[in-house]
Structure 1
Amino acid sequence: MVDMVEGKAGMMAGVSARRATAIGAGALLLWSTLALLTTLTGPIPPFETEAVAFAVGGLTGIVWMTARGRSPLAALRQPPAAWILGVGGLFGYHFLFFLALKSAPAAEANLINYLWPLLIVLFAGLLPGERLGRRQVLGALVGLAGTVLLVTRGQGVHVDPAYLPGFLAAAGAAITWGAYSALSRLLGAVPTDAVAFFCLATAALSALCHAALEVTVVPDAGQAALLGLMGLGPVGAAFFVWDIGMKKGDIHTLGALSYATPLMSTLLLILAGRAQPSWVVAAACALIIAGAVIASWNARRGAAEGL
């Protein structure tokens, strides 16, 4: 898949960008399953979950590139900035995300986390050649209103102290992933194969933190299968295709498509009985998506006029 996109880059840049955008969109479908899979792992602590899933994802990536005749050593040799961004983004985001889902109501924490599509649009406006306009600011305020509604559960400014750490972790996850995605645009020369080693480094850091801070929970057969599935999909393949989309695709289109992910993710939680439908969830979801659409409108219109 990586070869297909990169092989076309020199001859047909437009086609390559469209294909890269389509490939990147595949990550959104995979990520919509992550919240449900995480809640299904039950009492397995966040660092342990992260260590196992990322180890599976990283090893699978190395097997894939080796089978395609590419050198893992070449992918390993990357500048320090790439390692800082790659490992910091993957490790920081997923720990905060898993922590949020395990310490706050799943639907609310999940939707706060999904402020990251809005933040990608805002952060992209700060990249070279881009600008941050009034619609981006208005969209941020609308999205913030949705977040406040979720945190307060529609009951005024009072926040249940028991859920505050989870809500803060979810907000931190959104900021981390928005920054990681936008800044990846500045590291276009770093090959997507390097993501496999970022995953393994993230797994190693997670294992160290798990050993120092958590009590190991031995997964049963079902939980082990879920961890493996996470490593193959939303904590594995998704990062590779997302990297392609961010570096070679249309970042604004991917930001717009990302707004459907919280809807799919929350719907899966509700269908699985892991979250309850309510007017608060529905209204907050509508506000967050509306804010993201407003924020991206100028960027997407400008991109269309430039074609």
Structure 2
Amino acid sequence: MDTAAALTKNQPKAMLLGALAVLCWSTVATAFKLSLAHLAPVQLLSIATATSLFILLAVVAKRYSMRFVYEAWKAAPVQYALLGAINPFLYYVILFNAYDLLPAQQAQPLNYSWALVLSLLAVPLLGQALKRADIIALLVGFFGVIVIATRGDVLALQFDSGKGVLLALSSTVLWAVYWLYNARLKAPPEVSLLLCFIHGSPLVWGMMMFTTGLPNDWQGVTSAIYVGVFEMGITFLLWLGAMQLATHASRVSNLIFLSPFLSLLLIHWILGEDIVPATYIGLSLIIVAVIYQQVAAHRSAQ
């Protein structure tokens, strides 16, 4: 089989690639809303998925032989079919519908809570026990979710869109399930992602053809292509490269905490949304919870 050559560790380059990935991810919430102003959620997903699939095919074809990709698929065809039904199909259909119903400043931070959901789902799916730090992190993080969803009016529990909040939180469950099961696959991450997109893309396009039909708004299509490049395609590869080059992976992974705050700035500057204080407070609670959980896990492993 053909595999990529071993990479020489280079922390400065890893930090640069990680920062570029974070910068790209920070723009996609704004791109979602710009595209959804012109396209139905499934149309956005169809164009974005096709764009990402093209990028993944090009990158994987350069790094690996097609026989290697086929052997990877042959080892777990059912798993790839099921994971492809989650990502890119169900996860993004639900996420884009949440963005269609909610202000970007709510949908984006709510989706960010998937890391907390992952630790919760690891209990029934992986048989892992919840530790004291996990429980504290979950309570703090999900209180942050409530603060964001209610715009700070926690006691009233009134939402801009109850359905939108439910969809955003449901997307976090699907994303956590996807990564829990994806971690069991032995193929390189970019190969696994490609195989998932090969399985999931026909589902996306089939749904579009049976519901909305092809998009015909060039502004929406342009934004959707941007989403395909910077949400699903090249940014994942930048992040993967950063983690492979890093001598201190934790320093690179901590960059991800900049993304939601940068995203809120772009949402304000480009979309014109007035970011309410509750969004910053809730997002800060979620990030503090995630960092606390990671630090506690690191200390317990020593």
Q: TM-score scaled by structure 2?
A: 0.81
Show the counterpart of 1:159. 158
Q: 62-71 or 105-114: which moved more?
A: 62-71
Tell me if the contact between 1:82 and 1:190 (Cα under 8 Å) persists in the aligned partners. Answer: no
What secondary structure, in the 3-state scheme, does the structure 2 residue paired with 1:32 have?
helix
In structure 2, what is the equivalent of residue 3 of structure 1? 4
Given residue 100 of structure 2, which amino acid in structure 1 is its aligned partner?
K
1:54–1:231 CA contact under 8 A, matched in 2: yes
| Residue in structure 1 matched with residue 220 of structure 2 by the alignment | 223
Kindly indicate whether residue 168 of structure 2 is the aligned counterpart of residue 170 of structure 1. yes
Structure 2 residue ranges without an equivalent (≥5): none
CA drift of 1:45 comes to 0.8
Deviation at 1:278, TM superposition (A): 1.6
1:58 is the counterpart of 2:59: no
1:44 equivalent in structure 2: 39
Structure 1: runs of 5 or more not aligned: none
What SS is found at the alignment partner of 2:275? coil
Is residue 122–residue 295 contact of structure 1 (8 Å, CA) maintained in 2? no
In the alignment, the residues of structure 2 paired with residue 154 and residue 34 of structure 1 have an alpha-carbon distance, to the nearest angstrom, of 25
Q: Whole-Å Cα distance in 2 between the matches of residues 151 and 145 of structure 1?
A: 10
Contact 1:184 1:243 in 2 (8 A): no
> Are 1:294 and 2:292 an aligned pair?
yes
The amino acid of 2:57's aligned partner reads I
Given candidates 82, 85, 90, the residue that maps to 1:84 is: 82
Alignment of 1:66-215 (within 5 A): 66-68=61-63, 70-71=65-66, 73-74=70-71, 76-79=73-76, 80-123=78-121, 131-155=129-153, 156-160=155-159, 163-189=161-187, 192-214=190-212
* Alpha-carbon contact 1:188-1:247 (below 8 Å) kept: no
Cα gap change, 1:300 to 1:69, in 2 (>3 Å) = closer
Q: Distance in 1 between matches of 2:18 and 2:143?
A: 29
- Displacement, 1:284? 1.1
CA RMSD of aligned residues (A): 3.6
Aligned to 2:271: 273
CA shift digits 1:94-120 (9 cap, x unpaired): 111111111111111111111013334
Report the alpha carbon displacement of residue 142 of structure 1 after superposing the two structures with TM: 0.7
**TM superposition score normalised by structure 1:** 0.80
Contact persistence 2:24–2:235 (CA under 8 A): yes
Tell me how far apart the structure 2 counterparts of residues 280 and 35 of structure 1 sit (CA, whole Å).
Answer: 18
Kept in 2, the 8 Å contact 1:252–1:299? The answer is no
What is the distance in 2 between the residues matched to 1:125 and 1:139?
Answer: 15
Residue pair 2:267, 2:273 contacting (<8 A) in 1 also: yes
